[in-house]
Amino acid sequence: MSRTNSSTRQRLLNAALELFSFQGVTETTTRQIAELAQVNEVTLFRQFGSKQGLLLALIEESAVFTHLGESLRAQVNQTNHVDEALRNYASDRLKALEQIPELLRSVVGEAGKYTVENRRGLGQGINLANRDVANYLATVIEREQLHCRLSAEKLSSLLNVMLFGYLVIELTSEFHELWDNQEDFLESLVEVFLYGAVSPLPESSAGVLSLDKNNPPHPPLEVEENLNEKVADLPASLVRSILLQAKKQGLQDYALAYVLFGAGLRPQEVVALERLHQIIDEHQHLLQITQGAVRQVPVNQWIMGKRYGSYIRNPLSQWLKSRKDDQLAMFVNEKGQPFSEEELRASWQTFTSGLLTPEGQPLFVEQARQTWCVEMLMKGIDLEDLSILSGWDTTQLHPYARRGREKAALERALRLDQKA
């Protein structure tokens, strides 16, 4: 295409976009477009065939479709996880669509007036874009060796439909209460794609809330593995009460509660700890985790706004200093043998006896780890760093980020009320 033809085509596209956005597709004539573009009306027909052909070209050459495949191929190497890939694509597509809001309103409102050829052409453009997105998602899913119940093509088509539907609602209605803002929508969208919206409760969970003292309550394996999907962190006052009751039970229970809330470890990681797994001096107190994700984790002096000693003098260091045995395990039972996970849960039940969540539910030991995650995010740590410290993938931590934002928003609202 010559430079002159290219310039003429672009003037027609610019003129059409301006008029379509201002007065709608139906009310705009080809004569008006040609006059605004300062070309002969015959030139418009020669370039695009009709007004609908011009509309189709305008949509296909907008930022929604243009170079989509190239940009996704470049973007796929810059994403580490599938959640990041989903969020980046969704955010970019919404930004592209938001550049042509009035045009989108016209397209949606007047779609029934398009010719079959134009509808077919638009459908082909959508299919091409969908294949580009499917290749993008398939690459990320295969790279992370994830299992997907749907094909990448169906996954991408559902994603695109949801994005377009979101924008249509935003452009055509106000005062709805479907989501707080775009970030809230994107967060929900990613969670639906990663975790699903509905799943059956495992049969073995029926007795989760049993208060049998001989069988301490704890979630079955299937529930325990998915506890992070619904964050159940504990308020500061309740954490303080737990630590105080643990202190009354003895040095080991106090140290155990301190590690659970100060380092955010899983029960199986706690019982695997040995004395030599701590690195302690006046500048730091670290634990070497050998179960699951091998890593080092700091033991926080400050827990939910209260300080529990120093790096070298705290509930854990005091417990280990009091020991007179040669057992390597950090926590031991009455026989001097390493703590089992069931014994740890029994201790937890003992020093949380009589305490309930604000919802009136008994406390699970896993809630200490959940509380730690939310607190770390509230203190300013980012998801990547928390992923390293917790051993959880960033996708598993998104509910905690959401919970952290909720708590931060509430705190800001309370401060505003106090100022008033």
Of 64-68, 233-237, 282-286, 414-418, the range with the lowest mean pLDDT is 64-68
Task: Give the model's pLDDT for residue 198.
Answer: 57
Indicate if the pLDDT at residue 170 is higher than 60.
yes
Q: Residue 368's pLDDT is what? A: 96
Which pLDDT score is estimated for 314?
A: 93
Contact 255, 315 (CB under 8 A): yes
33 vs 3, 5, 24, 106, 220, CA distance in Å? 20, 16, 12, 16, 67
Weakest mean pLDDT among 56-60, 120-124, 134-138, 170-174: 120-124
pLDDT band at 156; cut points 50, 70, 90: confident
Neighbours of 143 (CB within 10 A): 15
Residues 6+ apart with CB under 8 A from 151: 134
Between 32 and 16, the higher pLDDT residue: 32
Collapsed DSSP state (helix, strand, coil) of residue 164: helix
Q: pLDDT tens across 305-319, in order?
A: 899 988 899 999 999
AA identity, residue 207: G
Q: How far is CA 181 from CA 96, 167, 230, 326, 416, in A?
A: 17, 12, 21, 58, 21
Round to whole Å and give the CA distance between 275 and 258. Answer: 16
Mean pLDDT of the chain: 81
Which tens digit of pLDDT belongs to each residue from 331-372? 999 999 999 999 999 999 999 999 999 888 899 999 999 999
Question: Is there a contact between 394 and 83 (Cβ–Cβ < 8 Å)?
Answer: yes
Residue 197: the pLDDT is 57
Q: Which domains does the chain have, with CATH numbers?
A: 3-195 (1.10.357.10), 204-419 (1.10.443.10)
What is the residue whose two structure tokens read 């509660």?
A: 257
Q: How confident is the model at residue 225 (pLDDT cuts 50, 70, 90)?
A: very low
Q: Is 282 helix (H, G, I), strand (E, B) or coil?
A: coil
Q: How far is CA 316 from each of CA 251, 273, 293, 321, 349, rounded to the nearest angstrom?
A: 8, 12, 22, 9, 19
- The pLDDT assigned to 228 comes to 44
Output the pTM of the full model.
0.49
16-29, pLDDT tens digit by residue?
Answer: 888 887 777 778 89
Nearest CA-CA partner of 56 in 139, 124, 136: 124
Which pLDDT band holds residue 195 (cuts at 50, 70, 90)?
low
